[in-house]
Structure 1
């Protein structure tokens, strides 16, 4: 439990940016109330964007995530763990392999199958038990794509609704990988390079192209 409260390389709960976010959004209630407030604040403060997917170590440091224009599921789960710890709530980052039935055609073409490996969530210790929360999809993204926003009450696991607003199957969990007191970067990066070489290359090229246009 002590390891789930401290500051680490990636879950830098003692950084000023993280502490300020927790102070601004946790509220003055009990731990469960604070966790719920932080979940919604973090979910919507950093928009989800799969185009940010990459392996730059800096993008997985919680204080950097809070200052980013957007992020994908792993950095957002790390950031939620950090602000929870800053508010005195034990937190870990968890990973699972999932199947996303609503993935975009371009993304699907760059993957060898329909499994999204190492999808991330945050595990929070509330009222004597660990509860899963998934802050990936912000409310703006959900509204644009007709996906039900994922709610969290601090009592039961909140992962992904199985259907979107039109009744189409959305997300299913294939298996759980594990929960960690810090981001297991080396294992994650090794798996991503093996599973998604074409996707990583394509997104790196997109970012390089965008940088050239800005300059």
Structure 2
């Protein structure tokens, strides 16, 4: 797969995504520069919010997500992937399990753990090299957590910060589920149900949860 195609989820030909990336459709910008600018825009335009879970197909369409003011890591990764593909940069979704060592009390209370899964990030191809980029944590959240905002230089992986500004453990990667050709909705739901059964209860049909 070339990881440039439009899909149901990465619907970058939509008016919403085209408008979002309009400023980067500049032939004077190299692909690396476009990727760096788009990464920052996705990182800081949407407030990170892990407290709404949805497993409906419609929710994960990039054209729907980009209209929101907040989203979790998978939401923001989908927006970034759609934007990158619209700019001719191959991109795909990667999922993992992470541990937040400075988890706020509400997060630990709602999930019953400081382990978050599935965590979404982006694989993108620049100069024949696949790189990882994690646009989840916006600048204001990083300030609150006393950690430097995660940047992307277009040459190296940009994955969660291991330590905060005081040298305390911040984020830890526990498991890498690999990359996927499209949004693996069934895998995501099964993974979440396995790790957070108390959230779902006995309702096998409910697809959205406010925590």
SS in 1 for 2:63: helix
1:82-121 alignment, distance < 5 Å:
82-121=82-121
8 Å Cα contact 1:53/1:71 also seen in 2: no
Please say if residues 91 and 181 of structure 1, whose CA atoms lie closer than 8 Å, have aligned partners that are also in contact: no
Q: Following TM superposition, by how much is the alpha carbon of 1:189 offset from its aligned partner in structure 2, in angstroms? A: 0.9
CA distance in 1, matches of 2:200, 2:141: 22
CA-atom RMSD, angstroms?
Answer: 1.9
CA distance in 1, matches of 2:180, 2:107: 28
- Answer yes or no: is the 8 Å Cα contact 2:53–2:210 preserved in 1: no
Instruction: Give TM-score scaled by structure 2 length.
Output: 0.89
Q: CA deviation at 1:8?
A: 0.7
The secondary structure found in structure 2 opposite 1:77 is helix
Partner of 1:122: 122
Q: For residue 49 of structure 1, report the CA deviation from its aligned partner.
A: 1.0
Q: Cα offset for 1:184?
A: 0.4
Report the equivalent of 1:54. 54
Q: Determine which structure has the larger strand proportion and give its number.
A: 2
TM-score between the two structures when normalised by the length of structure 1: 0.87
Q: How far does residue 21 in structure 1 lie from its aligned partner after superposition?
A: 1.3
Q: Secondary structure at the match of 2:47?
A: coil
Q: Deviations over 1:11-53 (max 9, x none)?
A: 1122111122122245441111110011001111111111223
Answering whether residue 16 of structure 2 is matched by residue 17 of structure 1, we say yes
Structure 1 residue runs of 5 or longer lacking an equivalent are: 207-215
Question: Structure 2: 5+ residue runs without aligned partners?
Answer: 202-207
The structure whose residues are more often helix, as a share, is 1
Q: Deviation digits for residues 90-146 of structure 1, max 9, x if unmatched?
A: 000001111111112232234454422221111110011100000001112112332
